[in-house]
Chain A
Amino acid sequence: MSDLAWIDGALTSARPQAIGALLRYFRDLDTAEEAFQDACLRALKSWPQNGPPRDPAAWLILVGRNAGLDGVRRRSKQADLPPEDLISDLDDVEAPLAERLDGSHYRDDILRLLFICCHPELPATQQIALALRIVSGLSVKQIARAFLVGEAAMEQRITRAKARVAKAETPFETPGPADRSERLAAVAAMVYLIFNEGYSAGDGSARAQLCDEAIRLARLLLRLFQTEPEIMGLTALLLLQHARTPARFDADGAIVLLEDQDRELWNRRMIAEGLALIDKAMRHARPGAYQVQAAIAALHARAETPADTDWVQIDRLYATLERLQPSPVVTLNRSVAVSKVAGAAAALAMIEPLAGRLSGYFHFFGAKGAYLLQLGRNEEARVAFDEAIALAHTPAEADYIRTRLDRLIQDSAAAAAG
């Protein structure tokens, strides 16, 4: 790893902490961001010469604060602050700040920063865009590419989100325990949204990289809240899902179902970490939706072959999830386990009442078609698959259903011939 790569990594990982602290100081997103950019530029000049500081985040906050104040003082024609070359040698200046960063301020700064980005008045897409810009430091161009929109449109979206946040009453004081857990839940949901944006893209595109960023943010949350089982569950869930990415699509970009995936391609490192985390979370005996989903993903990860999958346990976990977080999509997912345990007829009976609420959902018709097919009701299956194709979000989804349709037509042709 070259020095420059190390510096780049250090700047990226210090970003949420530094921007969070600068935001507390300046109480304005744009000023905090500018001060951080300024500090980064100075770091790129100073660190290769003087060596990296003991605590990069503390250095960046101190220099960023000086840079911000510098601007204010220049405008009022006062003396400049000492250059940052001196600061990096002054361990004494950094030390007390670094100590304080380890404490509660540090956690609250980052939580506040993330919370501001997932402001409830912002639509989900703006929340994600703002977080990727402010917390992750992705460029507007990168975010625009990830969301398949023009750069100017994304710039506008982010500016609008910032303006809305600036107008809203942002509480800068330290949140109480109840407030904090509410904020943490909102922030966790936003990280999950970022991951899903990337996961649904699936391929190696700019959008798929959002999965890595979501995992980085989840790790950050976990470091700040090491004893929160739901944050362990969230991180485990993202790792276990992402571990399957290399096997989810074949060479032509077509979807490979879980049971057909080459398990050799799954990322064992991510699985090991995900299993360790969900294992730890379960010890707390405080189940939550992320933990249950991670536990389901863990059962898939633990099965050496599809036949080893513990569907009975998965069905039970889905029942728990239905209680914790009732939703037609959860019931639809549960029906897959039911089809394995009790057969396609039971699964079909389970999803039929959902038809009204899931009438615009690709996966509903995909599953319905599959169960009908298993029951030999081919004509009805064909209708369901047609509906699914009409609702597909990606070419890969549509292709997957088309393949099943082709097979259906071939089979019925063969049956007619025979």
Chain B
Amino acid sequence: MLYTLLCYNSEDVVFSWSQEEDDAVMGRLSVIHERLHKEGKLGPSLRLLPTTAATTLRKDEPPLVVDGPFAETKEQLLGFYVIEVADLEEALGIARELAAANPGGAYEIRPVRLFLPGEKVG
């Protein structure tokens, strides 16, 4: 069985950490990451950049691009993609294509700051 762990914390608090505090947390986490990776239990893992770096493409007709995260509580996170592109424009182009194929809701385009690749996939 595959599980997803979604990490939540107060963004205000996390971005008030000093570099040393942040490094300390990441250091403690990386010990666990390494062990899980060795055990073959760790899949792709991401650390997202802050919500202020996010852009949202609402799947309206035509699609509407807005700044900020997608925060509509009536809809739930159903899955996610990881894409490697040159810039936001290219990412939005892909999101537009996906939106045309899958109407309703929105895609939040949020840059990633840490990427731990792993072998496990569904």
In the complex, the answer to whether B21 meets A219 with C-beta atoms within 8 Å is: no
B43 close to A (CB within 8 Å): no
Known: A13-B12, A276-B88, A280-B88. A227 touches B53 (CB 8 A): no
B119 to chain A minimum Cβ distance, whole angstroms, is 25
Main SS at interface, chain B:
mixed
Known: A226-B67, A283-B88. A12 touches B16 (CB 8 A): yes
B15 to chain A minimum Cβ distance, whole angstroms, is 6
Which residues of chain A are near B55, meaning CB under 8 Å?
280, 283
Name B53-73 residues within 8 Å CB distance of A.
Answer: 53, 55, 65-68
A-B CB pair tally, cutoff 8 Å: 70
Which residues of chain A are near B19, meaning CB under 8 Å?
212
In the complex, the answer to whether B65 meets A6 with C-beta atoms within 8 Å is: no
Closest to A215 in B: B15
Closest to A279 in B: B88
Known: A219-B50, A272-B49. A9 touches B13 (CB 8 A): yes
Known: A9-B17, A219-B15, A280-B53. A273 touches B68 (CB 8 A): no
Which residues of chain A are near B14, meaning CB under 8 Å?
9
Bound together, the chains give a CA A279 to CA B53 distance in angstroms of: 9
A1 close to B (CB within 8 Å): yes
Which residues of chain B are near A219, meaning CB under 8 Å?
15, 50, 52
Known: A1-B21, A279-B87, A280-B88. A223 touches B52 (CB 8 A): yes
In the complex, the answer to whether A277 meets B53 with C-beta atoms within 8 Å is: yes
Closest to B69 in A: A226
Instruction: Among B10, B16, B21, B111, find the residue whose CB has the most chain A CB atoms closer than 10 A.
Output: B16
In the complex, the answer to whether A226 meets B17 with C-beta atoms within 8 Å is: no
Bound together, the chains give a CA A145 to CA B53 distance in angstroms of: 34
In the complex, the answer to whether B15 meets A216 with C-beta atoms within 8 Å is: yes
User: Per-position contact with A for B95-122: 1 when CB-CB < 8 Å, else 0?
Assistant: 0000000000000000101100000000
* Residue among B13, B21, B51, B111 making CB contact with A10, cutoff 8 Å: B13
* Residue among B13, B66, B88, B111 making CB contact with A6, cutoff 8 Å: B13
Bound together, the chains give a CA A258 to CA B49 distance in angstroms of: 26
Which residues of chain B are near A220, meaning CB under 8 Å?
12
In the complex, the answer to whether B87 meets A13 with C-beta atoms within 8 Å is: no
A41 close to B (CB within 8 Å): no
Which residues of chain A are near B89, meaning CB under 8 Å?
279, 283
Bound together, the chains give a CA A219 to CA B65 distance in angstroms of: 21
Bound together, the chains give a CA A13 to CA B11 distance in angstroms of: 9
B18 close to A (CB within 8 Å): yes
Known: A219-B15, A227-B68, A283-B65. A277 touches B10 (CB 8 A): no
A: number of interface residues (CB 8 Å): 27
Known: A13-B12, A226-B68, A272-B113. A5 touches B21 (CB 8 A): yes
Bound together, the chains give a CA A14 to CA B16 distance in angstroms of: 10
In the complex, the answer to whether B68 meets A276 with C-beta atoms within 8 Å is: no
A269 close to B (CB within 8 Å): yes
Which residues of chain A are near B94, meaning CB under 8 Å?
none
B36 close to A (CB within 8 Å): no
In the complex, the answer to whether A216 meets B67 with C-beta atoms within 8 Å is: no
In the complex, the answer to whether B18 meets A212 with C-beta atoms within 8 Å is: yes
B51 to chain A minimum Cβ distance, whole angstroms, is 8
Bound together, the chains give a CA A5 to CA B55 distance in angstroms of: 31
Known: A13-B10, A226-B67, A227-B68. A276 touches B16 (CB 8 A): no
B82 close to A (CB within 8 Å): no
A392 close to B (CB within 8 Å): no
A69 close to B (CB within 8 Å): no
In the complex, the answer to whether B67 meets A276 with C-beta atoms within 8 Å is: no
A235 close to B (CB within 8 Å): yes
A186 close to B (CB within 8 Å): no
Which residues of chain A are near B21, meaning CB under 8 Å?
1, 5
A408 close to B (CB within 8 Å): no
Q: Which residues of A contact B (CB under 8 A)?
A: 1, 5-6, 9-10, 12-14, 56, 212, 216, 219-220, 222-223, 226-227, 232, 235, 269, 272-273, 276-277, 279-280, 283
